[in-house]
Structure 1
């Protein structure tokens, strides 16, 4: 038989051009591939055997030529220097390159075949913690700049990890903790973050070399507060979900039952061990049936024990449950009694943020800000009646423009001191909710100054529409398209925009919004958003109207609001959204924490007006008016105002027998623009 190679253009040759195959036998030859002749990638062909020019047999072959690549060998070690498994993120620092996950097995070594270039590696690794034998830590290990132009070995060495801590003046526990990093170079960006779970009691980062290409930053963000539960002689007692905190100071005898039955424990504190295979809810049920007043639980697993301990109906147990580590369990056992203080609402929080641009330094990573680095914010949450709510302050920087975290429960009304990190580039976005989230108020981006003591009010009357920077969209035009967003329940705080759940019948809120073009209705919708499509190119007059109500059976005060914005606009560029010159109107009245003023007294009042931030084609705001009603809007009387353009002051004479103060205010500019707001039942009178 004659042999030939097809489909390879010379990249494969045969040792023999013919073969003789004996009857019932076999014959073979050698095929040699020439990588120098082959293009990069997959190559294939076939060998054909022919007799007298007719193919009688064939077999396929393939040759894969790898592009230029080098071996990147990654070693990972734990805090004791032992090889350990890890999950990596590998990023080639080149435009269009996506990050890729990689897993290092138990050997602690991984070899990657990669194209030449600059790479970044990062990993969050479970490590031995710093609080005893059953402590669990989370470590950040990174090699942010690896030049791969030959075979390279990199070691992510847990022995180099340094603990990251926040050191402040008051006793605190960690409410939330975020570890985040960003690596950017050559048109690519790698971002990673961890909202550190409760089970980790310590966090670490290893030093890195300073990058010379692009940028790198590691940052830690803390929310600290007064511990929910403080136990004398114990480092930390973690109150568990599904239990009921004992508020205030108390002292109880302690019975150590280990993993045995709970006998003679009614009305006492109990220390128990959660054994492997035992459900937390089952242990809690046994404690409840035994009449335990406070249950302290430890286990043998690394890290904090945190679980759901409530009953089968997802209700909280009627007693307190907290977990402790092995060392604190021993301290409780030796004490025999429990002296403790429960604090449901912390009187202070620390919102801290510390970043390391360029490299994680090879030094102590304790963040201990002094008074000049923090703003001490007197924060007041207003409510006429006790009501639950939630709040959080999100860290924002140029490198980390998305704030991470979740709102925390708080009972209104409340006053609190918030110690907040300041410094170059540090901004905060704040969000608070009233009730079960039916009403949310949010700020724009806030920059605090170190060493200051500002006052911050939330839900302080007057509740009214404010078109703030926290909206995200609205009051914009692109070509012949206009869009408006007019949430109706901002407050008297700086740049506080308020959103209501107007879609649920149970919320007790309603809002309807309209937009008019030269006096004709164009769009009307439930909610805060309305639109104009195919608007005329020449300058026309537009008017946006929104009406809001709060039901008396659900809200106090049960305000009703009516607002109108008038402005003129012509066609704008179609390649972007342009902010329109709507005028914002704000109120300034000093109420108590219940949002009320005292009757039978004179009360200073202020109003201020400004354009929506970023608006174009603005004029000068020149005029303002204010009227007041003490009979729910049945009659109105003017209030004399003094001041300059944009800010005016007046005085209200609040009757002793009034129940509410209603306000109607307006402001106008020199381009035909105006705003009018009428808030009925705006402020309660005591």
Structure 2
């Protein structure tokens, strides 16, 4: 059959995969492959095709496909107008939960009063494809169910509408080929609007205390354990992990001058029952193509811990830091710019206030340091004004925070972001 410069229409087949169908259509010179599904709705051909199919591939459902094939039987020329939208401008993640039994009618027609709007911006420092995905939590918040992965632009924006209300608890995430960022468990108010940004500098060690997908460093009875120390959280308050041989993570737990445990980012140590001061140290390196920022980090957490319940996890009081700086899509900021540093406690850690936040910057990868003076404090963190030298190319940060219980953190992030 001649399909050169035409649309090739095929039925979904158990014996011929979409990969082979696409290869045959491309070899015959087709401009587009249209797969008629024999199941419910259109076929997600992209789930079966490797990235970079040899031609555009689309699908129609059984009913539309039957009507289309009927038109072919009458002969003549059938014209299809095709509009391609490879990346969405909006998404829906909807949740309908029933307790005890499943009703006969499963129709769900949410209106604007039932949803929340989230304006999403992805700001990776290079163009490409990212993946948006979202988990909803079980009513007891002990397990999560994931939604299908949706490809989006790694540098782009879109709007997501989700089921709102206290019974719909979500964990959001976004992934790149070399990085996955995950947010905290949360619900959205009915009719609310919010915004979130993924991947933006400064990428730095960041933990979450309220996510079913990860456990925070904790104490159970006489043991302190780390279940992972994600090292590349972004400016949106997300935790970020890199699974690549181009990265290294080294972690050590100390009590005074005594080394209790060391390893990558999962360690455990038996500790004394009394309340003592501890120090957790993490060093990371990242040497990956086209990743010029956060090439090394050094973090020290000082905290106090005493005997804990033998049957429940007690989150360690590890202070977290978040950063906010305006950069372009390549991760470069103006030479005279403002940087915000905001300390916080993990979920379930209460009872102390922050009493100090400091910042030093370096323009030569940490060889020399400049103490910064806060420009403004407030509920959204402490603001510092940077004035970089004309020849500087990167900004290295060293920030600290301490609370009234003497829990403290010190972050060093080498090449945290670039300069225009």
For the aligned residue pairs, the C-alpha RMSD in angstroms reads 3.1
Query: In 2, are the aligned partners of 1:281 and 1:309 still within 8 Å (CA)?
Result: no
1:625 and 1:341, CA in 2 relative to 1: closer, same or farther beyond 3 A?
A: same
1:445 equivalent among 175, 185, 195: 185
1:638 and 1:391, CA in 2 relative to 1: closer, same or farther beyond 3 A?
A: same
Q: 2:327: which partner in 1?
A: 591
Q: 2:117: which partner in 1?
A: 376
2:365 equivalent among 632, 636, 659: 632
1:670 and 1:317, CA in 2 relative to 1: closer, same or farther beyond 3 A?
A: closer
Q: 1:582: which partner in 2?
A: 318
1:281 & 1:321 partners in 2: Cα distance?
Answer: 10
1:659 and 1:331, CA in 2 relative to 1: closer, same or farther beyond 3 A?
A: farther
Work out whether 1:488 is the aligned partner of 2:225. Answer: no
1:638 and 1:267, CA in 2 relative to 1: closer, same or farther beyond 3 A?
A: same
How far residue 597 of structure 1 moved from its aligned partner, in angstroms, is: 1.5
How far residue 650 of structure 1 moved from its aligned partner, in angstroms, is: 2.1
2:262 equivalent among 524, 535, 552: 524
Q: 2:284: which partner in 1?
A: 548
1:560 equivalent among 272, 280, 296: 296
2:46 & 2:356 partners in 1: Cα distance?
Answer: 61
1:668 equivalent among 402, 409, 416: 402
How far residue 591 of structure 1 moved from its aligned partner, in angstroms, is: 2.8
1:374 and 1:556, CA in 2 relative to 1: closer, same or farther beyond 3 A?
A: farther
Q: 2:93: which partner in 1?
A: 351
Query: In 2, are the aligned partners of 1:288 and 1:317 still within 8 Å (CA)?
Result: no
Q: 1:679: which partner in 2?
A: 413
Instruction: Give secondary structure in 2 for the equivalent of 1:529.
Output: coil
Instruction: Give secondary structure in 1 for the equivalent of 2:397.
Output: strand
How far residue 390 of structure 1 moved from its aligned partner, in angstroms, is: 1.8
Work out whether 1:386 is the aligned partner of 2:107. Answer: no
Query: In 1, are the aligned partners of 2:133 and 2:146 still within 8 Å (CA)?
Result: no
1:491 and 1:424, CA in 2 relative to 1: closer, same or farther beyond 3 A?
A: same
Query: In 2, are the aligned partners of 1:267 and 1:292 still within 8 Å (CA)?
Result: yes
2:140 & 2:402 partners in 1: Cα distance?
Answer: 40
How far residue 474 of structure 1 moved from its aligned partner, in angstroms, is: 3.4
2:71 & 2:384 partners in 1: Cα distance?
Answer: 63
User: Which deviations, in whole Å up to 9, do the C-alpha atoms of 1:556-583 show, x marking residues without a partner?
Assistant: 3252111000112222232322222221
1:307 & 1:406 partners in 2: Cα distance?
Answer: 11
Structure index of larger Rg: 1
Q: 2:57: which partner in 1?
A: 321
2:12 & 2:405 partners in 1: Cα distance?
Answer: 72
Calculate the TM-score normalised by the size of structure 2. Answer: 0.86
Instruction: Give secondary structure in 1 for the equivalent of 2:26.
Output: helix
How far residue 284 of structure 1 moved from its aligned partner, in angstroms, is: 4.4
2:349 equivalent among 590, 593, 615: 615
How far residue 404 of structure 1 moved from its aligned partner, in angstroms, is: 2.9
How far residue 276 of structure 1 moved from its aligned partner, in angstroms, is: 8.5
1:361 and 1:399, CA in 2 relative to 1: closer, same or farther beyond 3 A?
A: farther
Instruction: Give secondary structure in 1 for the equivalent of 2:193.
Output: coil
1:540 and 1:399, CA in 2 relative to 1: closer, same or farther beyond 3 A?
A: closer
Q: 1:415: which partner in 2?
A: 157
2:412 & 2:15 partners in 1: Cα distance?
Answer: 63
Query: In 2, are the aligned partners of 1:519 and 1:543 still within 8 Å (CA)?
Result: no
Higher RCO, Cα 8 Å, sep 6+: 2
1:582 & 1:318 partners in 2: Cα distance?
Answer: 50
Instruction: Give secondary structure in 1 for the equivalent of 2:236.
Output: coil
Query: In 1, are the aligned partners of 2:127 and 2:154 still within 8 Å (CA)?
Result: yes
- What are the ranges of 5 or more consecutive residues in structure 2 without an aligned counterpart? none
Query: In 2, are the aligned partners of 1:565 and 1:676 still within 8 Å (CA)?
Result: yes
1:563 & 1:668 partners in 2: Cα distance?
Answer: 14
2:26 equivalent among 288, 293, 303: 288
1:514 and 1:273, CA in 2 relative to 1: closer, same or farther beyond 3 A?
A: closer
Instruction: Give secondary structure in 2 for the equivalent of 1:638.
Output: strand
- What are the ranges of 5 or more consecutive residues in structure 1 without an aligned counterpart? 1-261
Instruction: Give secondary structure in 2 for the equivalent of 1:323.
Output: strand
2:53 & 2:24 partners in 1: Cα distance?
Answer: 11
1:521 & 1:386 partners in 2: Cα distance?
Answer: 43
1:460 and 1:273, CA in 2 relative to 1: closer, same or farther beyond 3 A?
A: closer
How far residue 305 of structure 1 moved from its aligned partner, in angstroms, is: 6.9
Query: In 2, are the aligned partners of 1:517 and 1:541 still within 8 Å (CA)?
Result: yes
Work out whether 1:652 is the aligned partner of 2:386. Answer: yes
How far residue 285 of structure 1 moved from its aligned partner, in angstroms, is: 4.7
1:395 equivalent among 120, 123, 136: 136
Instruction: Give secondary structure in 2 for the equivalent of 1:490.
Output: coil
How far residue 323 of structure 1 moved from its aligned partner, in angstroms, is: 3.4
How far residue 543 of structure 1 moved from its aligned partner, in angstroms, is: 0.3
Which has a greater percent of strand? 1
2:220 equivalent among 478, 484, 493: 478
